Structure 1
Amino acid sequence: MALVPDERPSSSILKFESMLKTNDVYFFDAEDFEEIIHHYLNNGKITLAKKAIKIGLQQHPAAIHLKLLDVEVLVFENRFQKAEIILDELQRLDSANEEIYIQRANIYSKKDNHEAAVELLKKALTLSHGSLDVYSLLGMEYLFMDDYEKARENFMICVEHDPEDYASLYNVVYCFEFMEEHDGAINYLNDYLERSPYCQVAWHQLGKQYFEKGMYKEALAAFDFAIIADDNFVGAYFEKGKVLEKMGEYEKAIENYETTISIEDPTSHAYLRMGKCHERLKNDDMAKYYYYQTVHEDPLLDKGWLAITDYYFRKGDYEKALFYMNKAINIDGQNPQYWKKCARIHAALKKYDEADFSYRQAVELGNYELDTWLNWSEVVAQNNDIESAIQILIQGLEFYPEKAEMLYKMTGLYLMAQDPVKAQYRFVKALKMDIDKLHYFEVEFPSFYNSDWAQNIILNIKKASQ
């Protein structure tokens, strides 16, 4: 029998550990060895499990279940060749043993051959007469194959036969979420709750689905039911706090985050949310306090440093904002949004070279948003490098060929570069594409907009369109 971690050791386990300490040799039944080995495997004590397997096989060399546990450890250690030799021997002795096929499937799975693993598990299923463990393993293989429909079907079978199999329940919901079928998840969870109305896990998951759909009142009710089922359910309080934030009930949200801290040790995420709430309540000192508590609790939480950055940026203290932005980048330098924010701070400080570098990093890391190209070209133009600013917009046009604002900006830059021919080409194209966005050109380049050159072109385009 398999023991759960931290379960009180049985007399067989105590006897075995006593034997190891005294170097005496005690005899155990094969079933006792199975219990001992499962205990060590479940508690992550692989070395002790291997010792028990070795001694167990010395005392019971023909015990198939002990050999299968030996295979399980070999597979865990990626020693596939030796594991397969043992499995070949066992299959000759007992070809109808489903565990042989399960272990072979594990080997194929670890080799990323999930299709072969599925076929072996299907064979194991016929031999095991519908073992739920096999359905669960099939579900995981289908997840590896990104076949969320079949994965969901197998996990649903597990939940149908064991409503307290919460791992499978989570996986069912995960499949619905990945397929963006929130309504399907809601219907499934409501059906589940008809049968298990006091399941806090299901209420919690239902609340999250309602939250995703923006159904905040329904989400709030679901989290309340989760708390009624288990008033120490930290996750439900935390999610309820997020809902209350969305509803603008910041003081109530803070109360729920505070409850999570009173039940368990404080978390950086709870501090961060509390800081956000206080900032929205204009409690600046409290907001700052909780942001600093966030990074004190978890110095590697880049979102904490980012929250402090945003706080100082909104206050116009760009030097401090830059200091904390750099801390976030040091933690996650591959995040293009961080480089983009860093560029904005440099631009506010009129450090255009640094802003140029930061925008370049953002784009190289995959940020191709429209405002990235527009703002990057702007800081380069501010640095009096008009040609480079134009080249940035030409590159951006590859991603946004139908965005007139790109063309209006290029018109102004070409005029600054004293190239009226190219400017006219871009201007005419922009006006024909979207004349309603002409205000972009008017606001950014008022002198060019009011010139006879621009007004004549605008007039001609309007006449041609009538």
Structure 2
Amino acid sequence: MKNHLSLLVLMLTAFLFSCNDDVTRKGDQLYNEGNYKEAVDSYSEYLKTNPKDIKSLYNRGRAFEEMEQVDKAKADFLTVLDIDGDNLSANLSMGKYWYNQKDFNKAIIFFDKVIELDGVRSDAYMLRGRSYHQKGEFDKAMENYNQSINFDKDNAEAFLYRGALKVALSQTKSACQDFTRSKALGSAEASEALAKHCR
């Protein structure tokens, strides 16, 4: 009898976990299809019984971002960081949040954390470069754009923004080379920059 009871408990637990997996997979599917509100509902349902599930919290935050509900997104990202302060994705998202709020000092703190945790993240260097660029700290911006490109030769945005910085520094020929490379990598903004600065 004891063995039957143990088996029943084990089966029930497995069933509940598989149901939870189905809910999170459904949320991911809805997110990938662009159904962000339904994705939020799916993640929220799962989080009722698993309030510290990092993946669901982060993905719900991303869905809120897509719906332009940035304060709710921020709350989810911060909850992730309360659980795991070293979460790369949440640190990167918080850096982007503060960048968009034009608080470049706070943005840099989060990009610093990402780079501390993973020193070869091209996107983190590029975003930190943009933050320094906005602050007018051009040497630091250039250093970060260069690092970004060193780690990913196909980072169109890094070439684009390094080109923009070179325009500000009157390095037009080199800027046009960066814009050309960015355009070749698929950046529409680079085409505009070439038309404006490289005739």
Aligned mates of 1:156, 1:254 — CA distance in 2: 42
2:36, 2:67 within 8 Å by CA — same for their partners in 1?
no
TM-fit CA distance, 1:224:
0.7
The correspondence of residues 33-432 of structure 1 with structure 2, limited to 5 A, is 128-131=15-18, 132-140=20-28, 142-143=30-31, 144=33, 145-148=35-38, 149-154=40-45, 156=47, 160=51, 162-163=53-54, 165=55, 168=56, 170-295=58-183, 297-298=184-185, 300-312=186-198, 320=199
Give 3-state SS (helix, strand or coil) of 2:120's partner: coil
Aligned mates of 2:61, 2:163 — CA distance in 1: 30
Structure 1 stretches lacking a partner, 5+ long: 1-125, 313-319, 321-466
Highest CA radius of gyration, 1 or 2? 1
Give 3-state SS (helix, strand or coil) of 1:129's partner: helix
The 4+ residue runs of structure 1 with deviation greater than 6 A are none
1:207, 1:219 within 8 Å by CA — same for their partners in 2?
yes
Aligned mates of 1:210, 1:155 — CA distance in 2: 28
Give 3-state SS (helix, strand or coil) of 1:147's partner: helix
TM-fit CA distance, 1:233:
1.9
Q: What is the TM-score normalised by the length of structure 1?
A: 0.36
Q: Percent identity?
A: 22
1:245, 1:253 within 8 Å by CA — same for their partners in 2?
yes
1:155, 1:172 within 8 Å by CA — same for their partners in 2?
no
TM-fit CA distance, 1:287:
1.5
Aligned mates of 1:202, 1:155 — CA distance in 2: 19
| 2:8 match | none
Between Structure 1 and Structure 2, the one with more helix by share is 2
TM-fit CA distance, 1:216:
1.6
Aligned mates of 1:276, 1:159 — CA distance in 2: 45
TM-fit CA distance, 1:221:
0.7
CA RMSD of superposed structures (Å): 2.8
Aligned mates of 1:305, 1:221 — CA distance in 2: 32
Aligned mates of 1:174, 1:230 — CA distance in 2: 21
Q: How many residues align?
A: 183
Q: Determine which structure has greater relative contact order: mean sequence separation of CA pairs < 8 Å that are 6+ residues apart, divided by chain length.
A: 2
Q: CA distance change for structure 1 residues 161 and 186 in 2, over 3 Å: closer, same or farther? A: closer
Aligned mates of 2:50, 2:124 — CA distance in 1: 22
Aligned mates of 2:142, 2:65 — CA distance in 1: 28
1:139, 1:151 within 8 Å by CA — same for their partners in 2?
yes
1:152, 1:175 within 8 Å by CA — same for their partners in 2?
no
1:261, 1:267 within 8 Å by CA — same for their partners in 2?
yes
Q: CA distance change for structure 1 residues 188 and 169 in 2, over 3 Å: closer, same or farther? A: closer
2:43, 2:57 within 8 Å by CA — same for their partners in 1?
no
Structure 2 stretches lacking a partner, 5+ long: 1-12
Q: What is the TM-score normalised by the length of structure 2?
A: 0.77
TM-superposition CA deviations, 1:314-368 (whole Å, max 9, x none): xxxxxx4xxxxxxxxxxxxxxxxxxxxxxxxxxxxxxxxxxxxxxxxxxxxxxxx
Q: CA distance change for structure 1 residues 138 and 249 in 2, over 3 Å: closer, same or farther? A: same
Aligned mates of 1:257, 1:159 — CA distance in 2: 40
